[in-house]
């Protein structure tokens, strides 16, 4: 699988594609091209065709995936991330139900403030421990925020280290 940001393929993407293609051939797997197109601000006009053509130039052709801006081939699609929303929502809901994920309602500004405080304190940056403000919201609190239309992302609930 090659996941490429909508745009130009760089040497790292080509290297990854070559290795993936070789491994799928050795293991009788499927090499597919999935396009990451969820960041619309960074979308490049004709980016998918650019990626497909760059791979062809290096004789790296996916077994499945996008073939141009609007067409795909294969059994494991859709191959544009933005079209897989329902699949991801189903898994996110499952992980939340299992207690392995939770909705986080922090704004980008709040996350940046946390990071700045961590840098000043010279501690490992990240959204964890006491910094994970939304981790322990009750189901009722989460439901109310969602009902109110608060924006959120889904975060994994990694197990706490026991000492």
Do the domains 2-84 and 99-156 sit in the same CATH topology, yes or no?
A: no
How far apart are alpha carbons 103 and 60 in whole angstroms? Answer: 39
**Other beta carbons less than 10 A from residue 52's beta carbon:** 22
CB atoms within 10 A of CB 61: 14
| The domain made up of 2-84 is a member of CATH 3.40.190.10 | no
* 68, 49 Cβ separation under 8 angstroms: yes
Question: Please, how many CA atoms are within 13 Å of residue 98, restricted to the half-sphere of its CB?
Answer: 12
pTM over 0.75: no
In whole angstroms, give the CA distance from residue 162 to residue 96: 22
pLDDT by residue (tens digit) across 62-78?
Answer: 999 999 999 999 998 99
pLDDT tens-digit series, residues 50-62: 899 999 999 999 9
What are the residue ranges spanned by the domains of the chain? 2-84, 99-156
CATH number for the domain formed by residue range(s) 99-156: 3.90.800.10
- Residue 141: name the closest of 97, 90, 100, 102 by CA: 102
Please state, in angstroms and rounded to a whole number, the distance separating the CA atoms of residues 90 and 42.
Answer: 26
Contacts 24+ apart (CB under 8 A), 112-120: none
Q: Report yes or no: 125 and 115 within 8 Å, Cβ to Cβ.
A: yes
Q: Judge whether residue 8 has pLDDT over 70.
A: no
Q: Find the mean pLDDT for residues 126-146.
A: 91
- Helices marked H in 11-130: 11-26, 47-57, 85-97, 108-120
């Amino acid at each position: 699988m090659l996941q490429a940001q909508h745009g130009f393929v760089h040497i790292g993407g080509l290297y990854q594609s070559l290795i993936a293609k070789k491994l799928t051939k050795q293991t009788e797997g499927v090499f597919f091209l999935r396009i990451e197109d969820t960041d619309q601000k960074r979308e490049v006009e004709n980016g998918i065709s650019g990626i497909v053509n760059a791979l062809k130039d290096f004789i790296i052709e996916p077994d499945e995936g996008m073939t141009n801006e609007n067409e795909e081939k294969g059994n494991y699609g859709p191959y544009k991330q933005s079209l897989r929303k329902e699949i991801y929502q189903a898994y996110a809901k499952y992980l939340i139900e299992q207690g392995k994920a939770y909705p986080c309602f922090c704004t980008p500004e709040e996350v940046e403030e946390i990071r700045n405080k961590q840098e000043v304190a010279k501690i490992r940056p990240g959204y964890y421990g006491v910094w994970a403000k939304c981790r322990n919201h009750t189901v009722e609190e989460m439901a109310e925020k969602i009902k109110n239309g608060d924006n959120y992302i889904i975060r994994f609930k990694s197990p706490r280290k026991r000492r």
